[in-house]
Amino acid sequence: MKLKHFNIQYGSQIFKSFSDEARIRILSLLFNHEELCISDIEHILDFTQTKTSRHISYLKNAGLLNSRKDDQWVFYEIKEEVMGLVSQIFKYLDKDVQLQKDDEVYQVLRSNRELAMNKRQNRFE
Protein backbone atom coordinates (compact mmCIF):
# COMPACT_ATOMS: atom_id res chain seq x y z
CA MET A 1 0.00 0.00 0.00
CA LYS A 2 1.43 3.35 -1.00
CA LEU A 3 1.04 6.74 0.59
CA LYS A 4 -1.98 8.29 -1.14
CA HIS A 5 -2.55 11.66 0.47
CA PHE A 6 0.85 13.27 0.77
CA ASN A 7 0.67 17.03 1.22
CA ILE A 8 2.74 19.79 2.79
CA GLN A 9 1.13 19.41 6.21
CA TYR A 10 1.67 15.64 6.35
CA GLY A 11 5.16 15.97 4.88
CA SER A 12 6.15 18.49 7.53
CA GLN A 13 4.99 16.08 10.27
CA ILE A 14 7.11 13.30 8.80
CA PHE A 15 10.19 15.49 8.41
CA LYS A 16 9.77 16.89 11.93
CA SER A 17 9.73 13.30 13.13
CA PHE A 18 13.16 12.86 11.55
CA SER A 19 14.47 16.05 13.14
CA ASP A 20 15.18 14.37 16.48
CA GLU A 21 17.98 11.84 17.01
CA ALA A 22 15.96 9.75 19.48
CA ARG A 23 13.07 9.40 17.02
CA ILE A 24 15.45 8.49 14.19
CA ARG A 25 16.95 5.77 16.37
CA ILE A 26 13.50 4.40 17.24
CA LEU A 27 12.41 4.47 13.59
CA SER A 28 15.64 2.76 12.54
CA LEU A 29 15.03 -0.11 14.95
CA LEU A 30 11.46 -0.50 13.75
CA PHE A 31 12.54 -0.24 10.12
CA ASN A 32 15.18 -2.95 10.52
CA HIS A 33 13.24 -5.27 12.83
CA GLU A 34 9.62 -4.66 11.85
CA GLU A 35 8.00 -4.72 15.28
CA LEU A 36 9.13 -4.05 18.84
CA CYS A 37 7.51 -3.43 22.20
CA ILE A 38 8.30 -0.27 24.12
CA SER A 39 10.33 -2.07 26.81
CA ASP A 40 12.63 -3.53 24.14
CA ILE A 41 13.11 -0.09 22.60
CA GLU A 42 13.91 1.37 26.03
CA HIS A 43 16.43 -1.34 26.75
CA ILE A 44 18.17 -1.25 23.36
CA LEU A 45 18.49 2.53 23.26
CA ASP A 46 19.06 2.93 27.01
CA PHE A 47 16.22 5.47 27.25
CA THR A 48 13.90 6.07 30.18
CA GLN A 49 10.30 4.89 29.91
CA THR A 50 9.16 8.52 29.84
CA LYS A 51 11.48 9.51 27.01
CA THR A 52 10.60 6.44 24.95
CA SER A 53 6.85 6.90 25.45
CA ARG A 54 7.03 10.58 24.55
CA HIS A 55 8.82 9.87 21.28
CA ILE A 56 6.60 6.89 20.41
CA SER A 57 3.54 9.12 20.96
CA TYR A 58 5.04 11.77 18.70
CA LEU A 59 5.67 9.22 15.95
CA LYS A 60 2.15 7.79 16.28
CA ASN A 61 0.59 11.26 16.14
CA ALA A 62 2.69 12.07 13.07
CA GLY A 63 1.11 9.09 11.33
CA LEU A 64 4.24 6.96 11.10
CA LEU A 65 3.44 4.10 13.49
CA ASN A 66 0.81 1.46 14.03
CA SER A 67 0.42 -0.34 17.33
CA ARG A 68 -1.16 -3.59 18.39
CA LYS A 69 -1.84 -4.89 21.84
CA ASP A 70 -0.98 -8.47 22.74
CA ASP A 71 -1.94 -9.26 26.33
CA GLN A 72 -0.06 -6.66 28.44
CA TRP A 73 2.37 -5.72 25.65
CA VAL A 74 1.98 -3.05 22.99
CA PHE A 75 3.99 -3.60 19.83
CA TYR A 76 4.87 -0.83 17.39
CA GLU A 77 5.64 -0.94 13.69
CA ILE A 78 6.07 1.54 10.87
CA LYS A 79 2.91 1.99 8.83
CA GLU A 80 3.08 0.20 5.52
CA GLU A 81 1.99 3.27 3.53
CA VAL A 82 5.00 5.33 4.71
CA MET A 83 7.53 2.50 4.46
CA GLY A 84 8.70 3.59 1.00
CA LEU A 85 9.50 7.11 2.18
CA VAL A 86 11.16 5.87 5.38
CA SER A 87 13.17 3.37 3.35
CA GLN A 88 14.53 6.15 1.15
CA ILE A 89 15.63 8.16 4.18
CA PHE A 90 17.38 5.19 5.80
CA LYS A 91 19.31 4.46 2.59
CA TYR A 92 21.26 7.62 3.43
CA LEU A 93 21.72 6.65 7.07
CA ASP A 94 22.78 3.02 6.63
CA LYS A 95 26.42 3.75 7.54
CA ASP A 96 25.64 5.78 10.66
CA VAL A 97 27.74 4.51 13.57
CA GLN A 98 25.08 5.09 16.25
CA LEU A 99 22.38 3.25 14.28
CA GLN A 100 24.78 0.36 13.70
CA LYS A 101 25.52 0.19 17.45
CA ASP A 102 21.79 0.16 18.20
CA ASP A 103 21.39 -2.75 15.80
CA GLU A 104 24.25 -4.64 17.47
CA VAL A 105 22.57 -4.24 20.87
CA TYR A 106 19.33 -5.53 19.35
CA GLN A 107 21.13 -8.60 17.97
CA VAL A 108 22.72 -9.38 21.36
CA LEU A 109 19.41 -9.00 23.18
CA ARG A 110 17.66 -11.14 20.61
CA SER A 111 20.21 -13.93 20.88
CA ASN A 112 20.08 -13.77 24.70
CA ARG A 113 16.28 -13.91 24.60
CA GLU A 114 16.38 -16.94 22.32
CA LEU A 115 18.79 -18.66 24.69
CA ALA A 116 16.58 -17.88 27.65
CA MET A 117 13.49 -19.13 25.81
CA ASN A 118 15.28 -22.40 24.90
CA LYS A 119 16.34 -22.91 28.53
CA ARG A 120 12.81 -22.24 29.69
CA GLN A 121 11.32 -24.68 27.17
CA ASN A 122 13.84 -27.39 28.07
CA ARG A 123 13.03 -26.95 31.76
CA PHE A 124 9.33 -27.67 31.16
CA GLU A 125 9.88 -30.68 28.91
Fold of the 8-124 domain? Arc Repressor Mutant, subunit A (1.10.10)
Contact 70, 55 (CB under 8 A): no
Contact 102, 29 (CB under 8 A): yes
State mean pLDDT over 42-48: 92
> What are the residue boundaries of the structural domains of the chain, listed by start?
8-124
CA torsion through residues 53, 67, 64, 112, sign? positive
pTM above 0.95, yes or no: no
Categorize the per-residue pLDDT at 15 as very low, low, confident or very high, splitting at 50, 70 and 90. confident
pLDDT-above-70 percentage for the chain? 86
The pLDDT score that the predictor gives to residue 8 is 82
Closest CA to 68 of 45, 32, 29, 35: 35
